[in-house]
Structure 1
Amino acid sequence: MAVSTPILGLAVLAYMMVVFYLGWVGYKQTKDNDDYMLAGRKVNPFVLAFSYGAAFISTSAIIGFGGYAGAFGLGILWLVFMNIFVGIFIAFVVFGSRTRRMGVNLKAVTFPELIGRRFQSRFIQGFSGALITIFMPLYAGSVLIGGARFMETALNIDYNIAILILAIIVAAYVITGGLIAVMYTDALQGALMFVGMAILLIITYSKLGGVTEAHQALTNMAYLVPDNFAAIGHTGWTTMPAFGSPTWWTLVSTIILGVGIGVLAQPQLAVRFMTVKNTRSLKRAVLSGGPFIFMMAGVAYIVGALSNVYFFNTQGMISLEVAGGNIDKIMPEYINSAMPDYFVVFFLLTLLAAAMSTLSSQFHAMGTAFGHDFYRQGIMNGKIGKTITVTRVGIAVTIFISVILAYILPPGIIARATAIFFGLCAAAFLPMYSGAIFWKRMTRQGATASLIIGTFASLFWLTFIHAKEATALGICQAIFGQATLLTGTWTLVDPILVATPLSFLVAIVVSLMTEPMAKEHVEKCFKQNE
C-alpha cells in the first residue's frame, strides 16, 4: 500500500513540532539535579500513569509481542493480566507508595541510589548502575528495531536509516530536557497510542465480520499450524500450547512470567514512583494506567493473532508465511495490507510514539545509571558536584551502543530481547528491592549477595543452560564441547524461574546470618512523610 508522502510528511512534521515543544518546556523547567533526574517530584497523576504506561508498552509489545501472537496465538493474553495486575496494581499500590516515601526520606534521585542509600553501600549503587548501563541497551535496541521495521514497511525506506532517525530524534529532547521532558512527551505519546490502538481494534473486527466471527474463524484455522510448529507444541491460535512442550515453556516462563514479574524491577519504571507529590497520586494513577495497558497490550496481541484470518482470507497464507518467517514483520505487514491509507499514517505516528516514549525512558535511565550511579558514586565516591553533564554523556554513549545492537541483532529478536532484560532485572534487583522497602531486617550483606548471585545466576543460565541463548552464543559449545550443560526440559526453563528464587533465598539467609543495620538509619528509611 502506498502512503501519500505529502500527508505523511505533514503528519510527522506536526507531531515532531509538538514533541520538540514539550521537550523545550522540559528543558526550560530543568533547573537542578532533582528536575533533571526526577521531574522536580511534582508530576500530575495522569501524566504519571500515561508516562509509566507509554514507557512500559513500546514497539516491543506492539510489534514484537503482537508478532509473537501472530505466530503462536492468544495464549499470550495471560501476559496482559500480568501487565495489569502486577505491572500496574501491585507496582503502584504496593511497591510505589513505599518507593516514593523512601526516596524522599533518603533524597535519592535514581533507582540504584535508592537501593544504595537504603543499604549504605556505594558498591550496590555503582554495580546496579553498571548493570543497567551494560544490559539495558539490549532492550533499547529491540525497541529501535520495532519502530524501524514499521518505518521500513510503511515508508519504504532503508531499515538502517530508520534506526538512526529514531535514535537521533529521541536523543535530542532526552539529553537536553531530562525526566521532565521525558514524562511530558510520554504523556502525549501515550494518549496518541491509546487512540491508535482503539481504532486498530475496531477496524480489524469490522473487516473480519465481528468479534465472534473473527475468533471462530481463527479457532477453525488450527489445522493450518505448520508441522514444525506443531512438533514443538503449537496447537492452534486460540488454545494454549501443549503442556510442557518447548512452545509452552517459552510462552509461560519466558514471556508471561519473565516480562510479567520483571516489570516490578525495571529501573526506568520504578524511578517514576519518586516523581509524584504524594502516595494519593499513585493510587489515582492506577485508574488511568490499567485501562491504558489493557488497550495497548491486549489490542496488539488480539490483532496479531487475528491477522492470520485476514491473510488467509486474502492471500491463502498464515501471517508468518506472509512475513517471510520473521515474526517482527507480521504486524507491519498486516497494518500496511489491511488498513486504509489514513490509518497507516496515523499508526506510524502511534508506533513512533510507542518507540520514542520507551526509548526516552531507557536513554534517561541508562544515562543516569552511568553518570550519577556508576561514575559519580561508584568510581568518584561522590567527589564531583552535579552530574547532569556526565549523565548527558552517558545518554549519548548508551544510545550509540543501542543503535549498534539494533543493527546486529538477528531477525525475530524483539520479544526475546525484551524478556531477557526483564528477567535479568527480576533476578538481580527484585529480591534486593523488595527487601529494601518491605523488610527492615534486611542487611547490606544480604542485599549485596542477592544482587551478585541474582545477576550471575541469570547470566550463567542464559549462557550455559537455556538453549535459545546458549546455542546462539556458542560459549558453552566452545568450552565444553556441547551446546548446553544440561539436557531435556531444563534447557527450556527460563532463567527467571531459577535465578530469582535463588536470589531471594540468598537475600534472606545472608541477612539473618549478619548483623542488623543501625536502627536509627532503618527508622529514617521507613519514616512516614505524609
Structure 2
Amino acid sequence: MEIATLITFIVYLVGMLIIGIVSYRLTSNLSDYVLGGRSLGPGVTALSAGASDMSSWLLLGLPGLAYATGISSMWMCIGLLIGAYLNWKFVASRLRSYTEVANDSITVPDFFENRFRDKGRLLRIISALVILIFFTFYASSGLVGGALLFQETFGMSYNMALLIGAIVIISYTFLGGFLAVSWTDFFQGLLMFLALVIVPIIAIIELGGPADTIDLVRSMNPGYLDPMDSMTTLGIISLMAWGLGYFGQPHIITRFMAIKSVEEVPKARFYGMTWMTISIIGAIVVGLTGIPYFADQPLIQGDVDQSEKVFIYFADVLFNPWVSGILLAAILSAIMSTIDSQLLVSSSALAEDFYKALIRKNAGDKELVWVGRFGVIVIALIAVVLAYNGNPEKGGASVLDLVSYAWGGFGAAFGPVILMSLYWKRMNRDGALAGIITGAVTVVVWERLTNAKIIPFQLYEIVPGFILALAAIIIFSLIGNTPKKAIHEEFDEAVEKDL
C-alpha cells in the first residue's frame, strides 16, 4: 500500500469531518437537521440528489455489471435515466410546494399524514416502518461496498474495513445532519463525476484509442457489444423497471423538499440530468474497457461479485499513488454519499415519526435532534451487522443485489403513493395506506417466491409491486370516503404554487 494513497484518503476523510463540524454549528432545530431549513440551491440539490442516489452502485456495481455482461447493461441505465428525468419533471416542484402547504411537512411520513389528515397516525407509522426496514438493507449495501474498497486498497480484513468505514460515515452524519449530508454529497458528486470521466478516457488511450478498444472487446466476445445478447423481453422490462424506483426513494425526494424554491427546480434538473448521464456512460465504459485490459488478470467475467472491483483495479494500475488515492476516495464518496442520506432519513423517521408522534408529543427541537443523532448510531449498527453477515466473498449478497432489493421496496411502496397524492385529488387515506402496504408486501413476497422457484420466471419485483400498489390506491380510494373540502382546497393551493 503506497503511503501517498493513504495520505490522500486521510485528507479526504478529514475534509468530510470538517464539513460535519461546520454544519453542526449551523444546525439549531429539527427542520435544520432533517431538511436544512429548505435552503438548498440548485447545484447542491442536483449533485447531492445524484450522489445519494447512485452510491457504490455507480463505481462498483454498474462497472462490474458491464464488465461481466457487456453492453446489455445499458437497458438498466436507459430505465434509470428516464425515471430520473420524470421524477425531476413531475415530482420535484409539486412535492416542494405541497410539503410546504401541507403544514410544512419535513419528512415523507409527515407529508402523508398531513396530506390525508390521518388523525390515527397509522400512515405515518407504517411508512416510517417501511423506511427503517428497507434502509437497513440499503445502508448495508454501502457498507459492504466500503469494506470491499478498504479491503482491496489497504489489505485489511473485511471486518476491520467494515468497522472503519462505518465509524467515519456515522461521525459526520451524527454531527451535521442534513446540511452536512447535502454539502458532503455535493463535493462527493463532483469527485465521482471527475473519476468517471478520467478513468475511461485513460483506459481507452492505454488500449490504443476508441476503435482499437472496440475491436479488442469484440475479439474477446462479440456478445459484449450486442445490447440484445442473452436478453429476453422480461429481462429488458426488469432492467428498465429500475426507473420506476425513483418516485419512491425517500433519500432522493427529500432533496426536492429542501430546495430553496420551486423556481430553482428546472435549473437543478438540468444539472442533475447532465451529471447523471455523463457519469452512467463513464461507468459502463469503465466496465467495457476492463474486459480486454484485464483479460489476464484475476477478474472473472460472468461473476458480478468479483467484477465489482474493476474500477478499483483501474485506479491502482493506471495512475500514480496520489491520483489513485483520489480515485479510490471517489468510490468512498459514492458509498458515503448514499449511506449518510439513508441514515439521516431513517433517524428522522425515528425522531419525528415514532418518538414525537408516539412517545413524547411535546418534545422540543433540541431533544428531537439528539434523538435523531442517536438514531443514526442505532440504525448504522444494525446495518453493520447485516453487512458483517453479507461478505460477498463468503457467499453474501453483492452490492447490486442488496441495492436492487431496497430500491424495489421503496419504489413499489412509496412511488405510486407519492405520484397519486400529488396528482389525484380524489385519493384518500385508505388508498394511501393500501398502496404502501401492497407495494412493500408484494416486493418481499415476490422476491421470496422467485428465489424459491415457485414463480417460474425472472421479473424484477418492483414491476408487480408498483402495478398492484397503483391498483390498491385506486380501488380503496374509490370505495372509501371522498376527501373533505379542506383537503381539496389544500390540493388546489399546492397545484397553484407549482405553476
State the TM-score, normalizing by the size of structure 1: 0.87
What is the aligned length?
Answer: 487
Q: Are 2:77 and 2:280, in contact at CA under 8 Å, matched by a contact in 1?
A: yes
Q: How is 1:350-499 mapped onto 2 (pairs within 5 angstroms)? A: 350-377=330-357, 379-380=358-359, 382-386=361-365, 387-411=368-392, 413-463=398-448, 465-467=449-451, 483-487=452-456, 489=457, 492-499=458-465
Q: How does 1:73-222 map to 2 (within 5 A)?
A: 73-87=70-84, 89-106=85-102, 107-121=104-118, 122-222=121-221
Match of 2:256 in 1: 273
For structure 2, which runs of at least 5 residues remain unmatched after alignment?
A: none
Partner residue, 2:292: 309
Change (3 A) 1:370 1:327: farther
Match of 2:19 among 9, 19, 22: 22
Change (3 A) 1:237 1:340: farther
Shift of 1:376: 2.5
Q: Please say if residues 134 and 410 of structure 2, whose CA atoms lie closer than 8 Å, have aligned partners that are also in contact.
A: no
Contact 2:244 2:415 in 1 (8 A): no
Give the whole-Å Cα distance in 2 for the aligned partners of 1:32 and 1:42: 14
Preserved contact between residue 466 and residue 494 of structure 1 (Cα < 8 Å)? no
What amino acid is aligned across from residue 309 of structure 1 in structure 2?
A: P
From 307, 324, 337, the counterpart of 1:327: 307
Structure 1 segments unaligned to the other structure (5+ residues): 224-234, 468-482
Q: Does 1:297 align with 2:276?
A: no
Q: Tell me the CA shift for residue 385 of structure 1.
A: 3.5
Letter in 2 for 1:302: V
1:39 to partner: Cα distance? 0.5
Letter in 1 for 2:57: S
Matched residue of 1:236: which SS?
A: helix
> Aligned equivalents of 2:175 and 2:153: distance in 1?
30
Report how far residue 51 of structure 1 moved.
0.7
**Which residue does the alignment assign to 1:471?**
none
Output the amino acid matched with 2:156.
I
For residues 183-237 of structure 1, the C-alpha deviation after alignment (integer angstroms, 9 at most, x for no partner) is: 11111111111112211121111111112221232122227xxxxxxxxxxx435
Q: Is the 8 A contact 1:26 1:177 kept in 2?
A: yes
1:55, distance to aligned residue in structure 2 (A): 0.6
Cα distance in structure 1, aligned partners of 2:481 and 2:284: 49
TM-score w.r.t. the length of structure 2 is 0.92
**How far apart, CA to CA, are the structure 2 residues paired with 1:273 and 1:14?**
31
Report the 3-state secondary structure (helix = DSSP H, G, I; strand = E; otherwise coil) of the residue aligned with 1:516: coil
Shift of 1:102: 0.7
Q: Give the fraction of aligned pairs with identical amino acids, expressed as a percent.
A: 27
Partners of 2:5 and 2:321 within 8 A in 1: no
Partner of 1:240: 228
Q: Secondary structure at the match of 1:57?
A: helix
Shift of the 502–323 alpha-carbon distance from structure 1 to 2, 3 Å rule, reads closer
Q: Distance in 1 between matches of 2:111 and 2:209?
A: 50
Q: CA 1:145–1:256 in 2, change beyond 3 Å: closer, same or farther?
A: farther
Task: State how far apart, in whole Å, the 2-side matches of 1:183 and 1:324 are.
Answer: 31
CA distance in structure 2 between the partners assigned to 1:95 and 1:447 by the alignment: 17
Find the counterpart in structure 2 of residue 509 from structure 1.
Answer: 475
1:422 is matched by which residue type in structure 2?
Answer: W
Q: Which moved more, 1:410-419 or 1:101-110?
A: 410-419
